[in-house]
Amino acid sequence: MNKYTKDLTSIIIPNWLTTTGGKIVPENETLWFAKHCIQRIKDNTKVPYELILIDNGSVIGSDYLKREADVYIRNEENLGFAKAVNQGIEASKGEYVCVINNDVFVWPDWLRVMISELNRTDLNPKPLVIMPALVKETKSALEALEIKSLNLDLNYYAMGSGAEFGSCWLTRRDYLDFIKEKDGHYLDENFKYGFGEDRDLWSRLRYHLKGETYRTHKTRVFHQGNVTIGKIINRKKYTYANREYLRGLREKRGY
């Protein structure tokens, strides 16, 4: 018997909520995005799911995250994206796992489409991970919130292989468990604060499971980008270190 709940998707969202403002809203920008991200998931997701919210040392919004979560995990300090996602995977019960940044907005039918694309049998190599395309109508979060329906005509049937959009992705829990059995971990926690661990995971999935990561254009999401990571002081030092670490891993493995 499968130890995971069939047809259930575990949606994992790491959160590091601060009082720092930004370009979109002047105060508490991370909380503003998290609230819209979570509410849009609840409004636009009709397939079975559980919402796993990782509170990664937030200084505000913890009560909100705890109230909205089906599964709430609190870290007293920011342990980084990889650690938070790994905690979410360990706690997940779903047949599918979907990881989303909290500055991503979704539209109706988004998750059903991604599940359907992941289960396609006509693609070679087989799909291991599905990622959505990006909204084309606007680059403004405020404008994106006003869009009721998206124009999906552009490249509707396209499936981009080799996709590496780490801000929203769907895979199967058994694929992740297979990877952990092979390598000893899901995401490599040696990557600090959300740079490169996703690309490393894609490489390991492709190598071990002989499939591919795809971007579907049958659904789109809005991604603001840098809302959380942009609040980290001197983040470039982590960017450089993680790129070097990823380069070293790839040279060592040969893939």
**Averaged confidence pLDDT in the chain:** 94
| Cα dihedral sign, 233-188-106-15 | negative
Lowest mean pLDDT among 25-39, 104-118, 240-254: 240-254
Task: Work out how many domains the chain is built from and give that number.
Answer: 1
Cβ neighbours of 248 (radius 10 Å): 10
Average pLDDT over residues 69-81: 96
Give the chain as a DSSP string.
--SSEEEEEEEEEEE---S---SSSSS-HHHHHHHHHHHHHHHH--S-EEEEEEEES-SS-HHHHHHH-SEEEEESS---HHHHHHHHHHH--EEEEEEE-TTEE--TTHHHHHHHHHT-SS-SSPEEEEEEEEPSS-S-HHHHTT--S----TTTT-EEET---TTEEEEEHHHHHHHHHHHS-SS-TTS-SSSSHHHHHHHHHHHHH--EEEEEEEEEEEE--STTGGGSTTTHHHHHHHHHHHHHHHHHHT-
CA distance 179 to 7: 21
Confidence of residue 2 (pLDDT cuts 50, 70, 90): low
Other Cβ atoms less than 10 A from the Cβ of 96: the count is 28
For 50, counting Cβ atoms within 10 Å of its Cβ (0-12 exposed, 13-18 middle, 19+ buried), the class is: middle
Whole-angstrom distance, CA of residue 41 vs CA of residue 60: 21
pLDDT at 74 over 90: yes
Give the domain CATH number at 174. 3.90.550.10
Q: Who wins on pLDDT, 44 or 193?
A: 44
Q: Which domain holds residue 117?
A: 5-253
Distances in Å between the alpha carbon of 33 and those of 116, 145, 218? 28, 11, 24
Residue-level pLDDT at 70? 98
